[in-house]
Chains A and B, each alone.
Chain A
Amino acid sequence: MEIISFYSGFVIPFLVGVSVLFAVVVYKFGRWFVRLPVEDRRLVRKNFFSRATVRALGECFMECLLHRKIWKVNPTLGYMHTAFAFGWFLLIVVGWVETVAYLGWRFVPLQGHIFFKFFTGGEHHWLVMDILLWYVLSGLVLAVYKRFRSRTLGMRRTTKLTFGDRVALSSLWFIFPLRLLAENFSGVMAFWWGYSIALGIFFVAMPFSRYMHIFTEVPLIFLRRWGIRSGERESSFDHFQLEACSRCGICIDPCQLQRDAGFRDVQSAYFIRDRRYNRLTRRVADNCLMCGRCEGRCPVGLQLDTLRLNSRHTLSGTPADGRFEYARKITNNPVISNECEKSTGQTVIASENEAICSNSQSSSSHPLGGRGETKNSQLSTPRIGFFGGCMTLLSPRILQSMEQIFAASGDDVWWADRNGGICCGRPLKLSGDIDAARDMMQMNTQLFEAQGITTLVTSCPICLRVFREDYRLEGIEVLHHSEYIARLIAEGCLSLRDSDEKMTYHDPCELGRGCGIYDAPRQVLASVGELVEPAETRSEALCCGSSLANFVVDDASQVAMARAVGAAFEATGAARVVTACPLCKKAIGRTSSLPTLDLAEVVAEKLNND
């Protein structure tokens, strides 16, 4: 076999491009790795030789090459991504096999593989390579089509491009058609030059454009499998997430700020882009409902809410300053914790609360477990704490309903905040003031512990989430009122009148996507009426639009979002809307033509009082 020289002038742009790409990627990854927090690096060491690594390999294949998750969201888009990624990958692998088959085992420089047809004069040719090239080209046709007419690919909106993207995208579009021309008209040098230049430009632009995701997704998958996550403060791991975003735009369509309120530049794709290029503004960081609708669909599985949160901490966090010391008077002194001395001097006595729950008649079959003994030994210690949270306190009907439900259940209840309490701390955390939020959480924890409660029930999903995620409540079970009521019903402790009234249910974001509670409220509803589901439900449910996580939107936008949600409920033909969040109730009830109630209200209404 003759010795082939693998050199020709036209390969220079390609080689330069590859070198720059390699250098930049190594530099970036190296820097991010070195700066990983100590505990993250410890996780890497601990899990490196474990099954997690094997799983990560599998995931890389499924997601980076086959794009399984994109297929699930949108098959046409999935085809496009797979055609590019898997098609190109196969072109490289099969091309390498082709070289080996032709030249045997020997060293062939990179350009020898890439421009194989040039160096062999096109005399050797595998049909499968042509097929693969046409496969990639079919993806390209879709990509061009999507850029100009995103709707045809089932996307109402597609992302706006940055300069780096534009350069990379244009060169990418040229790579494959030029390759086709060069390989079919092997004698025309201009095509080989064009092909090499297009590759070179693409490679140089790649690490500065969204195409960096091709490389970044791989380490991201491994690090994630090894247990590393982003947290409430920014960390080096965030870089892996930020640059693994392909700006596919899948997160844009589900965003209600876009579809109902007309905000076009705050969605996760844009937030991530702005943060990556260091031009994130407070306006963008703060304008998000953190509803989780986009996070659930992101094919790369990015922690979009967490990243938004730690950006808020960096951009607008303020020192804790011991700012809530004034609240110690209620948390430090549990004995008088039910008396709130307002500045007006008005005092509410704890005994008022005791009166409500004194008719305990339940037996040891009670859902909260053998309460008989403990009750005698710790007579003065209530076992259930009810924390309404600020929003429930603004909804007296929910409080009254809970009173009736507790009375019917026979449980002793300590009302944690009805006569004055502090917020759960989640709104503050959502604003980025995590230190101050911690102070608040610590005060509440102290208050709960001093009361010796074993169960903490809350009717607000926002509180529920922070209790579960951020509080350390040793020995205290935290329940949402929907779970508590479902349990009472299951244990036969509540006697309810069933009806055939059609009711629809709104999944609060913090309860559904936030805490994964979808079934408990549905079970409760099913025992008092007939449940009809709206079009988008459970993990796809809409946000009411008034989320406490958003610090920017004005009233008109909130109303616009609430209207859209209300319309979805009206379309179900239900007589009433039921939800399980006091804030959702207010937000939806504001515009909806249907009565909007909390779950506790419908239950209390159907109680058999005998």
Chain B
Amino acid sequence: MAIDFGYSVSQPRAVDLDRNDLSLAREIVREMPEFSACIACGGCTATCTAGNLTSFNFRLVQTLVRRGEYAGAYAEMNKCMLCGKCRLVCPRGINTRGVVRLIKRKLGDY
């Protein structure tokens, strides 16, 4: 029986930038250039109200979207409560809530 240590280990995975369609990602970055200033520090995720209750991970989802991995991104971003904590802690001053809404709009077609 597996022992529950209270944390899990992410499975290794590869993102194939040659195969992914990056057009949407480019469009998103064009509309919000500050989005690409992210240094993936994870501050947003550490403080996230939604992430406190579920596995939602803002840093992960937005990084995947920038790499052209869109599957499930809308549903994940939908978990965000737009509370704004992430923006307050982000060392790059990224308008994170703007990013959430932009990704939802581009991927969910709203």
Tell whether A pairs with B. yes
CB within 8 Å of B: which residues of A? 316-318, 321, 323-324, 326-327, 329-330, 340, 342-346, 390-391, 393-394, 420-423, 425, 427-428, 430-431, 433, 440, 546, 548, 551-556, 558, 583, 586
Report B83 CB to chain A, min CB distance, Å.
Answer: 4
Report B73 CB to chain A, min CB distance, Å.
Answer: 14
Verify B6–A551 contact, CB threshold 8 A: no
Report B85 CB to chain A, min CB distance, Å.
Answer: 5
Docked CA distance A431–B84 (Å): 12
Which candidate, B10-18, B22-30, B49-57, B62-70, is the interface stretch facing chain A? B49-57
Report A333 CB to chain B, min CB distance, Å.
Answer: 13
Q: Nearest residue in B to A330 (C-beta to C-beta)?
A: B53
- Identify 7 residue pairs between A and B in the complex whose beta-carbon atoms are under 8 Å apart, listed by A's number: A323-B79, A326-B54, A326-B56, A327-B53, A329-B53, A440-B81, A552-B95
Interface residues of B in 1-60 (CB under 8 A from A): 4-7, 34, 47, 49-50, 52-56
Verify A345–B4 contact, CB threshold 8 A: yes
Chain A residues with CB under 8 A of B97: 427, 431, 548, 551
Q: Nearest residue in A to B110 (C-beta to C-beta)?
A: A318
Chain A residues with CB under 8 A of B6: 344-346
Verify B52–A340 contact, CB threshold 8 A: yes
Verify A390–B84 contact, CB threshold 8 A: yes
Verify A586–B101 contact, CB threshold 8 A: no
Instruction: Report the number of A-B residue pairs with Cβ-Cβ less than 8 Å.
Output: 98
Docked CA distance A345–B5 (Å): 8
Contacts A318-B108, A326-B79, A394-B88 hold; do A422 and B53 have CB atoms under 8 A apart? yes
Contact with A along B82-101 (1 / 0, CB 8 A): 11110011000111011001
Verify B53–A394 contact, CB threshold 8 A: no
CB within 8 Å of A: which residues of B? 4-7, 34, 47, 49-50, 52-56, 78-79, 81-85, 88-89, 93-95, 97-98, 101, 104-105, 108, 110
Chain A residues with CB under 8 A of B95: 551-555
Q: Per DSSP, are chain A's interface residues mostly helix, strand or loop, or mixed?
A: loop
Verify A551–B98 contact, CB threshold 8 A: yes
Q: A345-B5, A393-B49, A422-B49 are in contact. List 17 more A-B contacts (CB 8 A).
A: A323-B78, A327-B54, A340-B52, A340-B53, A342-B53, A344-B6, A390-B49, A391-B88, A393-B85, A422-B81, A423-B82, A430-B82, A440-B81, A553-B95, A554-B95, A555-B93, A586-B88
Q: Nearest residue in A to B92 (C-beta to C-beta)?
A: A555
Chain A residues with CB under 8 A of B78: 318, 321, 323
Verify B85–A391 contact, CB threshold 8 A: yes
Chain A residues with CB under 8 A of B101: 316, 431, 551
Verify B82–A428 contact, CB threshold 8 A: yes
Docked CA distance A548–B83 (Å): 8
Report B82 CB to chain A, min CB distance, Å.
Answer: 4
Chain A residues with CB under 8 A of B108: 318
Report A39 CB to chain B, min CB distance, Å.
Answer: 29
**Other-chain contact of A390, B34, B79, B83, B93 (Cβ < 8 Å):** B83
Chain B residues with CB under 8 A of A423: 49, 81-83
Verify B54–A427 contact, CB threshold 8 A: no
Verify B81–A324 contact, CB threshold 8 A: yes
